[in-house]
Amino acid sequence: MDVIVAGDRTELVKAKDALGGGRIALVPTMGALHEGHRSLIRLARELADHVVVSVFVNPLQFGPNEDFSRYPRTFDADLAACAEEGVRVVFAPSAEDMYLPDRQVQVSAGRMGAIVEGAFRPGHFDGVLTVVLKLFNLVQPDVAVFGQKDAQQLALIRRMVADLNVPVEIAGGPTVREPDGLALSSRNRYLSPADRVTALALSRALRAGSGRAVPSEILRAAAAVLDEAARLDPPLLLDYVALVDPATFTPVEDGFRGEAVLAVAAKVGTTRLIDNLVVAVS
């Protein structure tokens, strides 16, 4: 069955009508689809009768010195991937269709959006939540699927749905990695061969930390790997390594028991990468 492409809101309504009813799953993306996105689509197909994938590079979640203009845009390849994975509708609106020119109101991520990743990307999560809520309103899915790789984003979307009584179930899909351990990301294509060698320190640091049980030891083990990578050529330029509560993203300390998220962000060459791992703390 062919994929229906909806380029604006009117076309989206027609595309949804053509589905003929049934449970709808939404997979929001910014395009440049890779195996990680495909895994989310497969999960969505398990959870619903029809899958809608949105492809929209959202300007609201990029800072003034970030990579909005060069973010990879590969729509033809994305459409082919969606067809292979059984997606029924691809919603690919323009920025003009998503945002009024005199837009005044947006979602605030609150305190939770200003810590960890949010401390390094002010306003980023406000932009994420705003576009996600708009997509929920436009697509009206029963369930939406997001990747665990963006763990703070996933936690904030769950919080938004709870706080604003949004009638959408949220499902998280596991991080997909390359055989060498590098988490799949649309930005990986920016990495040179030398960059990639350095970037592998992120997943190594997470594995090193996961071998410990006490928060201070987890962070110490991860930091040791990252410190070593800072001396490579090119160096790893660390933004943060943090051990946080998966629901609130507040730091956990010695004495905490349960699951925590070990999160890291760093720049290699011109590319900023994030990664995380859920670890058991005892």
% pLDDT > 90, the chain: 98
Token output for 27: 């997979």
CB atoms near residue 99 (< 10 Å): 17
Q: Active-site residue among 37, 45, 124, 134?
A: 37
Residue in the structure block whose two tokens are 């859920």? 278
**What does DSSP say about strands 143-147 and 169-173: parallel, antiparallel, or unpaired?**
parallel
- Give the distance between the most distant pair of CA atoms in the chain: 58
234 closest CA partner among 179, 275, 190: 190
Model confidence band, residue 65 (pLDDT cutoffs 50, 70, 90): confident
> What pTM was computed for the model?
0.96
- 99-127 pLDDT, tens digit each: 999 999 999 999 999 999 999 999 999 99
Quote the CA–CA distance of 19 and 24 in Å, as a whole number: 9
Nearest one of 70, 69, 110, 87 to 29, comparing CA atoms: 87
- pLDDT, the chain, mean: 97
CA gyration radius, the chain: 19
Q: Is the pLDDT of residue 189 over 90?
A: yes
According to the annotation, is 106 in a ligand binding site? Answer: no
Task: Give CA torsion, residues 104, 122, 265, 259, to 10 deg.
Answer: -80
Report how far residue 143's alpha carbon sits from residue 165's, in angstroms, rounded to the nearest whole number: 14
Is 189 marked as a binding-site residue? no
Task: Read off the pLDDT of each residue in 250-272 and give the average, rounded to a whole number.
Answer: 96
Indicate whether 1 pLDDT > 80: no
pLDDT at 208 > cutoff 90: yes
Give the range among 67-71, 129-133, 259-263 with minimum mean pLDDT.
67-71
Instruction: Give the pLDDT band (50/70/90) at residue 249.
Output: very high
**Ligand-binding site membership of 187 (annotated):** yes
pLDDT for res 122? 96
Residues 77-106 have pLDDT tens digits of: 999 999 999 999 999 999 999 999 999 999
d(CA 27, CA 30): 10
Respond yes or no: is residue 37 known to be catalytic: yes
Q: Is 178 annotated as a binding-site member?
A: no
Q: What is the residue type of 278?
A: V
- Three-state DSSP class for residue 92: coil
Q: Which residue has the tokens 């076309």?
A: 11
Share of the chain above pLDDT 70, in %: 100
Q: Is residue 23 pLDDT above 80, yes or no?
A: yes
Q: Tokens standing for 165?
A: 């009584």
